[in-house]
Amino acid sequence: MTTFTFRTVPHIVFEDGGSERLASLAAPLLHHARRVVFITDKGVRSAGLLDAALGDFMDADIAVHVIDSVVADPPEQMVLDAAEEARRFGAQAVIGFGGGSPMDTAKIVALLLGGDQPLSEMYGVDQVRVRGLPLILVPTTAGTGSEVTNVAVLTTGATSKRGIAAPPLYAQMAVLDPGLTLGLPKHVTAATGIDAMVHAIEAYTNKRSKNPVSDALALAALKKLIPALERACADGSDRAARGDMLLGAMLAGQAFSNSPVGAVHAMAYPLGGIFHVPHGLSNSVVLPPVLKFNAVACEDLYAEIATHCGLKPGSAGLIDEMERLADAVGIERRLSQLGISHNDIPRMAEDVAANDRLLPNNPRELGYDDIVALYEDIL
């Protein structure tokens, strides 16, 4: 009998156009908050995706302030600056509106405004001692699942990425509006979609925290994501495909929040931290070699995924489908395509080998020499 605990966001709304009435949806959770800060990035803001939500809050006579300084792989100082700006505004609630980086930033800003614990003491697992301000998350990409996870990842120093994982990072509400993802470019759709699949696969094969609820969610996520990805890439206005991608990413987020990710993410982090490769693309590039490496330890689990999703039998069914999908949607497959050379591999491998938060979750033990070999396989 498996002993486990499972947590997730208590209130999830899936509604096409839901972001246009965000103030109404959020009202029961915001209580008496009259000053709300939106955390986003300049791309989301300039695309006009925020406009309807901001208008709804202003119609409700709630003061809003937009912080759009978020960049990919959020640097620690940027997050601290955003928290200070929100504090000066007098924010009583926080809304993260965007992809993984704005949502992760919003999570940390909510914590910093809700207590006096320094950010430096929050890194790691279950190190957070404060509750944070009311937090609502609205994803504009279908990949990270950050809207339903208890994890935030920041860039510390020049290139290193560190994570915070603790229950206070869960939002009070996640609002999933497929309409927000309609304008997502094909390449971003592809990379973030495969990122969501990585979340589900790594949750299903986690050797420490795998449990029946995360398993069910991971399988449900993959069954949504695998057939929807090519449709969403082929026709960016396909609302049904966009909806399935958003639901799949959310389900995968719930799964890996309770059964965390492993070597794929550990190997992807240096690509983002050092070379600023987008997170979804980083995961997509390193996924195939890690799948092949892990197959020795989880042949049965990969076969279960393949059977559930109607793929070719055995672990080869899953591995072949992931490689086929990457080719079909035009994802880069080699490190050299991302400007990474053979000389960069030792530095990246050292970063990965030191990741004691994620590597212990991997179904097969991974040493420094293994990491180097896997990187070289996709050079």
Res 318 pLDDT > 90: yes
Angle at the Cα of 72 (from 67 to 27), degrees rounded to 5? 40
Res 19 pLDDT > 90: yes
Q: Dihedrals φ, ψ of 165, to 5°?
A: -130, 115
The predicted model scores a pTM of: 0.96
Confidence (pLDDT) at 161: 84
Confidence (pLDDT) at 31: 79
Angle at the Cα of 303 (from 298 to 308), degrees rounded to 5? 130
User: pLDDT tens digits for 53-79?
Assistant: 999 999 999 999 999 999 988 999 999
Res 377 pLDDT > 90: yes
User: pLDDT tens digits for 200-224?
Assistant: 999 999 999 999 999 999 999 999 9
User: pLDDT tens digits for 242-267?
Assistant: 999 999 999 999 999 999 999 999 99
Confidence (pLDDT) at 85: 98
Confidence (pLDDT) at 159: 77
- Full set of structural domains in the chain with CATH: 12-180 (3.40.50.1970), 182-377 (1.20.1090.10)
User: pLDDT tens digits for 140-164?
Assistant: 999 999 999 999 999 988 778 899 9
Closest CA to 263 of 351, 194, 331: 351
Tokens, residue 28: 């029961």
Half-sphere CA count of 301, side-chain side, radius 13 A = 23
Q: In the β-sheet with 93-98, what is the strand arrangement from edge to edge?
A: 12-14, 173-176, 135-139, 93-98, 35-39, 63-67
Q: 1 pLDDT band (50/70/90 cuts)?
A: confident
Confidence (pLDDT) at 160: 81
DSSP 46: H
Q: 313 pLDDT band (50/70/90 cuts)?
A: very high
Confidence (pLDDT) at 260: 95
Half-sphere CA count of 324, side-chain side, radius 13 A = 11
Whether the CB-CB separation of 88 and 113 falls below 8 Å is answered with no
Those residues whose C-beta lies under 8 Å from the C-beta of residue 131, and which sit 6 or more positions away, are 114, 115, 168
Of 26-35, 187-196, 213-222, 310-319, least confident by mean pLDDT is 26-35
Confidence (pLDDT) at 214: 98
Mean pLDDT of 159-179: 94
5-14: burial string, b at 16+ Cβ within 10 Å, e else? eeebbeeebe
Q: Work out the mean pLDDT of the chain and round it to a whole number.
A: 96
253-282: burial string, b at 16+ Cβ within 10 Å, e else? bbbbbbbbbbbbbbbbbbbbbbeebbbbbb
Q: What percent of the chain has pLDDT over 90?
A: 93
Q: Where does the chain show beta strands of DSSP type E?
A: 12-14, 35-39, 63-67, 93-98, 124-125, 135-139, 151-156, 160-165, 173-176
Res 273 pLDDT > 90: no
